Chains A and B, each alone.
Chain A
């Protein structure tokens, strides 16, 4: 059974750095083809893909956020960390991590429950 769960800072001030951790089980980022993605959803709005990282350390990012984003992995801990610098109230929303395998690129087959993040002065 595959599970993912997001954790981290949930209330930030503008210009701070958001750091979230995705802890997962049921698959390994040491296994060829495996990956973890981050997706967010502002309140009442659509989903927005942020980025992902694969087992071989290849990463991909939303071009609009690339300059502020970083996704790293720690296969030994079954964790993936996303960092978003210089946050703004527009970064408020629920952040999800999801499994994504290279065999079906950019398909997110299992999702975490999501973590609500608020950016406010």
Chain B
């Protein structure tokens, strides 16, 4: 199975930068796009980064995405951390028709 692994939790203080990793268990993560979703409690996910590093309209440039083939992982970075960024974040990609979501990372703003 194609799997994506994320840390269970990360935290940071307001104004700091946090990075969430997403590591694929096989293949080349750069072969297909990685997308990142933010989910607040009781709400549907919304996109913060799509196609590795693209921001939807309305998402501030504090959010950025990257992919690193050498570690077979993608990363979501959030700079200038704000209280409103506290949420769960999921990465997602696919290998052929096998779609995988990461297990999710809970971001806590201290």
Q: Which residues of A contact B (CB under 8 A)?
A: 39, 46-49, 60-63, 96, 104-109, 111-114
Contacts and interface: CB of A to CB of B under 8 A. Distances in A.
Q: Chain B, interface size: which category?
A: 20 to 34
A105 B47 contact: no
B89 to A, nearest CB: 11
B39 to A, nearest CB: 8
For the complex of A and B, 8 pairs with smallest distance between CB atoms: A49-B99, A111-B44, A47-B101, A106-B94, A46-B103, A60-B97, A106-B99, A46-B104
Contact of B33 (A49, A63, A104): A104
A109 B50 contact: yes
B94 A113 contact: no
A104 B44 contact: no
Interface of B: 32-33, 35, 37, 43-47, 50-51, 56, 90, 92-94, 97-104
Contacts of B32: 105-106
A109 B37 CA distance: 10
A104 B46 CA distance: 16
Contacts of A111: 44-46
12 contacts: A46-B103, A47-B45, A62-B99, A104-B33, A106-B32, A108-B45, A108-B92, A111-B44, A111-B46, A112-B44, A113-B44, A114-B44
Nearest to B47: A109
